[in-house]
Structure 1
């Protein structure tokens, strides 16, 4: 074989290998950036959804405890948020959310309660969101990069 051909084939092979390495590096970088972006979007979506559920649950529980007109219509918005949670949240968080819903339902069926006593260390009856918020915080920390 002619030495000029060997030199030309070597140059082409080296150029091809360099181009493929560049393409592979670009593809891996882009894939990593896409994965990071999807993670951040998912994290933000869960955080927003958890916050919506907490706010709406607190409002509905307050309505039930204070003894406002006992209409169940406002509960449907909370059930809609719970449905969204079922799409994204972990089983632990969903179980805690179901317990929150049970607490609110029980409060709607019960007579009005007294305002919490700040001197009473057993205010856990009014801290019905603690288990849910703990589960949310754990879930958000678990999926952190």
Structure 2
């Protein structure tokens, strides 16, 4: 009787394991896909915001070199972008964004430059005021991607 009971329990145990394996496998696979989608969405969202900051910041900076501040809306828009960045960016990215806006405001307070002066500044080796911001964004995005890859694998 013990052999019969053991055989029945082994058969039931095998059936239970066989039935739950696809369910667990599907759960793990779905979780991995969901995590990948969330990571991709987070990266795309940050790329869009950081690109907008760089595009608008570049335009404002060039304008600040050659013109006086006549319309405060551009500075307000830059502060709004910094606050949107503040919602989810790393400390280093936020610090770089705040530093750039501070530099931008300072440039509006300086004497306007001629086209030749702007050309000279643009040709300098380290003239890009958004370089630090862009490099920190790239490092942050790479970290998010690697973190998402690590979770999957």
**Cα distance, 1:102 vs structure 2:** 0.6
1:25-64 alignment runs, 5 A limit:
25-64=25-64
TM-score (norm 2): 0.81
**Cα distance, 1:12 vs structure 2:** 2.0
**Structure that is richer in helix per residue:** 2
**Cα distance, 1:68 vs structure 2:** 5.2
Structure 2: gaps of 5 or more residues: 147-153
1:1-145 alignment runs, 5 A limit:
1=1, 5-67=5-67, 70-115=70-115, 116-118=118-120, 122=124, 124-125=126-127, 127-145=128-146
CA-based RMSD of the aligned residues comes to 2.2
TM-score (norm 1): 0.85
Residues 18-41 of structure 1: CA distance to partner in whole angstroms, max 9, x if unpaired? 222222111111111111111111
Which structure has the higher relative contact order (CA within 8 Å, separation 6+)?
Answer: 2
Count the aligned residue pairs: 144
Mapped partners of 1:30, 1:130: distance in 2 = 39
